[in-house]
Structure 1
Amino acid sequence: MWEERLKLYDSFVTKCARFDRLGKTMPYTSTNGYMFSLLNKNAELGIRFSKEVQETYFKKFDTTIYKSYGAVMKGYILITEAMLTNETLILDLLNESYDYFNSIEPNKHKK
C-alpha cells in the first residue's frame, strides 16, 4: 500500500513543475522554509494551508486533521481516498499550498 501511494504522490508532484518531492524515508514538499505536503508512514497524504483555509477545507471536503507519527500536523488536512481519485483537485491543492507558503515571510528556522 505504501509503495503504491508513494508512486501516486510522486505522480502528482511530478506534474507540478515549480517544486520537487524531497525526502527518502519521509516524502515531502517544501518551499520558503515550510513543508507543505507530506506522505506519512501510514501512506496518508497531508497538504498544509493557513488555519482559515484548513477550517474551510475540513467542511468542504469532509476531512479532518492530519497526523504523522502520532503528532497533529499544524495546518494540514488529511487527503481522503475520495479526494485522491481527483487528480485535478490534488494538483490544485498542492499548487495552492505552494503559493500560500511562498506568499508569507520565510521560515528562518528552516533555511
Structure 2
Amino acid sequence: MPANKKYLTTSPWQRFAKITAGILGGYLVSMSFHMALTSWISATNIIITSAFTGFILWATLMVVAFIAKNGWKIWGLYILTTLLFSSILYLGTLYNPLV
C-alpha cells in the first residue's frame, strides 16, 4: 500500500535536511553522548556497551528526524545537543582526567 501523498515531504531541501540530520546528525549526537559518558564513568564499560546502545540511539534519532515536520529545526536541535555533550566531555576531561 503506497503512502498518502499529503504526508510526504515535497521540498527537496527538506528531504535533504531530514536525510542528513537522520544519518549524520544522529551519529554525531549518539557518539558525543557516549564520549561524554566516558569522561565521567569508566571508559571500558562505556566502550563495551556503546556498540549496542550507540546503534539503538542512532536509529531512534534517525526515526525522530524523519517524523519531524522541519528538517532544519532537527539539525539545530542535533547540533545544540552535540555541543552540549561536547561541553560535558570537555568539563569531564578537565575536572576528572584519570577516569
TM-score range, shorter chain: 0.3 to 0.5
Computing the radius of gyration from Cα coordinates, the structure with the larger value is: 2
Greater helix share, structure number: 2
TM-score by length of 1: 0.32
Greater relative contact order: 1 or 2 (C-alpha under 8 angstroms, separation 6 or more)?
A: 2
TM-score by length of 2: 0.34
Greater strand share, structure number: 1
